[in-house]
Amino acid sequence: MTTQPSPFASSPIVLDHPLIQHKLSHLRKAETSTAGFRRLVRELSLLMCYEATRDLPLETVEITTPLETTHAKQLAGPDVCFISILRAGNGLLDGMLDLVPFAPVGHIGLYRDPKTLEAVEYYLKLPTQISSRRCVVVDPMLATGHSAAAALTRLKQEGAQRLLFVCLLSTKEGIAYLAETHPDVPVITCSIDPTLDDHGYIRPGLGDAGDRLFGTK
């Protein structure tokens, strides 16, 4: 099946809402505690979920209010699922599931080879019928783009056709790499940071998101 490039893939959606930018600034601070970091990530993921689910299809149904019967809109079936890139992606799930509690969740485990910076898969568990769902793939960081691209490639191999990548921070390098390898996948992010260092870390960034989420730094 031939997929058409998304108009948003080469121009990522950067969420500049004042609340998002305020919370992101506190998330970056070195003195933010593990508990505070988790809370901020959850709050940010809830706000980001609004954009990630903006174009979910609706249907009109008949309901009864306390006053009368009327027609109203609701989501047209279980159209969305969330895919977390382990382990740090799990930090973004809670807020999204607060808004979409019925959405199934998949996990893909990847680690970055410290020498090549390439992604290596070690775990995969996905919901059924991902070919018919909007798959929202979550990972806090889009640095080199190799892990994200590997995850998207694997999901396409499993039948996913409608994919969206959501991250807290990104870089021009990571965005360019995804646009090259997966031009059909839109990217939603809260910031495009200026640089990557020699170890592939985003600068100024926020440190290792997984370590800060799970208190292993």
Residue 8 placed within a domain: no
Q: 96, 136 in Cβ contact below 8 A?
A: yes
- Known binding residue 112? Answer is yes
94 among the known binding-site residues? no
The predicted structure's pLDDT at residue 2: 32
Question: Is 208 assigned a ligand-binding role in the annotation?
Answer: yes
140 is in an annotated binding site: yes
For residues 28 and 53, give the distance between their C-alpha atoms in angstroms, rounded to a whole number: 26
Is 139 known as a binding-site position? yes
Residue 8's pLDDT is 42
Q: Tell whether 12 is in a known binding site.
A: no
In a domain, 66, yes or no: no
207 is in an annotated binding site: yes
Tokens 């020498």 -> residue:
115
Residue 141, annotated ligand binder?
yes
What is the per-residue pLDDT for 5?
39
Whether 170 has a binding-site annotation, put simply, is no
pTM as predicted: 0.88
* 209 known ligand binder: yes
| Count of CB atoms situated within 10 Å of the CB of 213 | 20
Residue 65 lies in a domain: no
Domain count, the chain: 1
E strands in the chain? 13-14, 58-64, 69-75, 80-86, 105-112, 119-125, 134-138, 141-142, 162-171, 187-193, 195-196, 202-203
Residue 3 lies in a domain: no
Please tell me the distance from the alpha carbon of residue 59 to that of residue 75, in angstroms, as a whole number.
6
Residue 1: predicted pLDDT: 31
Q: Judge whether 96 is annotated as a binding position.
A: no
Confirm whether residue 202 is marked as ligand binding.
Answer: yes
* Domain housing 198: 13-52+77-212
Does residue 68 sit within a domain?
no
Q: Mean pLDDT of residues grouped by 10 in the chain (217 residues)?
A: 39 93 96 94 94 90 96 87 92 92 93 75 91 93 91 95 95 94 95 89 90 85
Within a domain: residue 4? no
Tell me, yes or no, whether 1 lies in a domain.
Answer: no
Q: Give the domain CATH number at 31.
A: 3.40.50.2020
Residue 98, annotated as binding a ligand: no
**d(Cα 29, Cα 169) in Å, to the nearest integer?**
14
